[in-house]
Structure 1
Amino acid sequence: MDTLLSPVAWLLALVQAAFYVALGPFIAGWIRKVKAILQNRHGAPVLQPYRELYKLLGKEARVAHSASPVFRVAPYVVFVAIWLAAATVPLIATGLPTAMLADLIVLVGLLALARFFLALAGMDVGTAFGGMGASREMLVAALAEPAMLLGVFTLAMTAHSTNLSSMVELHLAGPPVLRPSFLFAFGALVLVAIAETGRIPVDNPATHLELTMVHEAMILEYSGRHLALMEWAAQVKLVLYGALIANLFFPWGIAREIAPAALAIGIIAILMKLLALGAVLAVAETVLAKMRLFRVPALLNLSVLLAVLGLLGHVILEVGR
């Protein structure tokens, strides 16, 4: 407990939270670069998202006359909520002071809060695009959240806790074991991550076509620093789900003690995992096409089915062994 409450541990927790914010644009730029290479294009530099955010932060935010205070407050609430949600997910080390708050229910609640204000902001101005994007976002969320909860509950039943840090510690404590329930949960969480982060085939973050966009439709009226916060929050959310998948199912390398060598290995390990996941996502977005909106529920129903199979697999094959 003394180590958990030490000033060094709190400082490391703050550094880990800041690492999410700093790493978000880099991972987004890495995915763009890999996609460009796969499509025989030169593409923008990996650091281009940082330049875009810097340019937007320096511009004046223009707000529509019909906008309420919710429209002005929403970018800050969305960014802070997603940042706090990311801070609960172990990234570099476990056993930090934030581990006490690293609960699955807290994570889902903070993400739901960010989604709620994002949808309100989309509908606030009264444009057709904003309302359309908000309704589509709620459709995706209504199917993605149960799949995420059921998928991670499979790991929680094994660890006998909904604490994310405890789940990671469970994997590291014993020898590697191939559990069928974890395979189903992994598939469900991957599909949920694709839907929640607005990636192909559910959504295309690089398009502004009114018949296909979901996330972009809700932030179409934003500009300047407000748009920068919305874009930055989406990039942090991408790293959040990447870290969640990487450290829940492949936690090897994460630091279990506050030591320079262990922390260095933890930083290198998570960077390699995120770069690998980003490359896989870029390949998938290159070979897959954007599906029609009416087919998205079928994809998310598949994620729910995989999560349920994971729970049943745990109960049938692992409980009582």
Structure 2
Amino acid sequence: MSAAGWAAVAAQVVLVVGGTPLLTGLMRQVRAVLEGRAGAGITQPWRDARKLLRKEPITAEGSGPAFRVAPLLLVTTAVVIAALVPLASTATPLSGSADLLVVVGLLALGTVSLALAGLDTGTAFGGMGASREMTVAALVEPTILLSVLALSVSTGSTNLARIVAGRIHDPAGVASPSSLLAVVALAVVVLAEAGRLPVDNPATHLELTMVHEAMVLEYAGPDLALVELGAQMRLTVLLGIVASLAAPWGTATGTGLLAVGLGLVLFAVKVAVLGGALAAAEVFWAKVRLFRVPELLAGSFLLALLAVAASYFLSGE
């Protein structure tokens, strides 16, 4: 049981680390096709990472430990989240540690480390990007907490594995008003947390619109490869959490080889569908002005708050 459980955890991590560049390539290819371009293919992120890893690492002059540690810390927190959350199975040895507060704390740790790295360079762009990133994070984290809290009312626990397992055995609860409100609110904040349109544009290099890119302008070589991998992994695990909460069916409730294998396949399919849908939607979306972002995130917070109220109302508590 223990060996099988650890094998399931390892399989989740390997799938996230190995499949994240392919998800990024798929999203770019979907956008290219919809925009009438040929595209570079879904394996292009792997080729980009290989090219960056061969380059000489460069450290910005005057930067300190925060700049050097941030890429590794960003990837490490994403790997730990991938091991904790119930992406393929809810019965792994780490399921008991997959608490909502732990996951949100790890996300915040990665965000803060990258913001400190942007400040550590002493450049105007780094400071501007760090300020914007922390502003968005301050609005995003409470919404994530409230969204998952609304889904946890029926199970009486903030453990993500227990929430997903409870939703698997309660199909009617998945389509309840509180559940739909919470999933919509969570989807909006995922866009902000992952730096996607309409909150941020990952392809921009304009100083007036940069958020994530402004903090990583001084990175090059292997450090830049780690930063890009960490950001892509955060998007993958966030989409995986949304998929597990919105459509939990297929996620294994044990550690059987067949069940976990099926859970991994369905997890990959769900994330690929969500990623493709997000990429298709971004073709028709425009980035909102920075001063309008708090309004968008405040709307998602209100949806999450309504979801919590509806959950307690429908549960009769």
TM-score tier by shorter-chain length is over 0.9
Q: Over residues 37-57 of structure 1, what are the superposed CA-to-partner deviations in whole Å (9 max), with x where a residue is unaligned?
A: 111111111011111111111
**Alignment match, 1:292:** 289
Q: Over residues 202-228 of structure 1, what are the superposed CA-to-partner deviations in whole Å (9 max), with x where a residue is unaligned?
A: 000011111101000000000011101
Q: CA deviation at 1:176?
A: 3.4
**Map of 1:26-65 to 2, 5 A cutoff?**
26-65=22-61
**Alignment match, 1:208:** 205
Q: Return closer, same or farther for 1:245/1:64 CA change in 2, 3 Å cut-off.
A: same
Do structure 1's residue 217 and structure 2's residue 214 form an aligned pair? yes
Q: Return closer, same or farther for 1:175/1:85 CA change in 2, 3 Å cut-off.
A: closer
Q: CA deviation at 1:18?
A: 2.1
Corresponding residue to 2:122 among 122, 126, 138: 126
**Alignment match, 1:188:** 185
Do structure 1's residue 17 and structure 2's residue 13 form an aligned pair? yes
Corresponding residue to 2:240 among 219, 233, 243: 243
**Alignment match, 1:170:** 166
Aligned residues between the structures: 316
Q: CA deviation at 1:65?
A: 1.8
Q: Over residues 129-179 of structure 1, what are the superposed CA-to-partner deviations in whole Å (9 max), with x where a residue is unaligned?
A: 000000000110010111110111001122111111000100112343321
Give the counterpart letter for 1:109 in structure 2.
G
Give the counterpart letter for 2:244 in structure 1.
N
Where do 5+ consecutive residues of structure 1 fail to align?
none
Q: Secondary structure at the match of 2:204?
A: coil
Give the counterpart letter for 1:183 in structure 2.
L
In 2, the alpha carbon distance for the partners of 1:129 and 1:150 equals 32
Higher mean alpha-carbon deviation, 200-209 vs 74-83, is at 74-83
Corresponding residue to 1:116 among 112, 115, 118: 112
Q: Secondary structure at the match of 2:184?
A: helix
Q: CA deviation at 1:80?
A: 0.5
Do structure 1's residue 155 and structure 2's residue 151 form an aligned pair? yes
**Alignment match, 1:105:** 101
Q: Secondary structure at the match of 1:94?
A: coil
Q: CA deviation at 1:240?
A: 0.7
Q: CA deviation at 1:258?
A: 2.4
Q: CA deviation at 1:8?
A: 2.2
**Alignment match, 2:269:** 272
Where do 5+ consecutive residues of structure 2 fail to align?
none
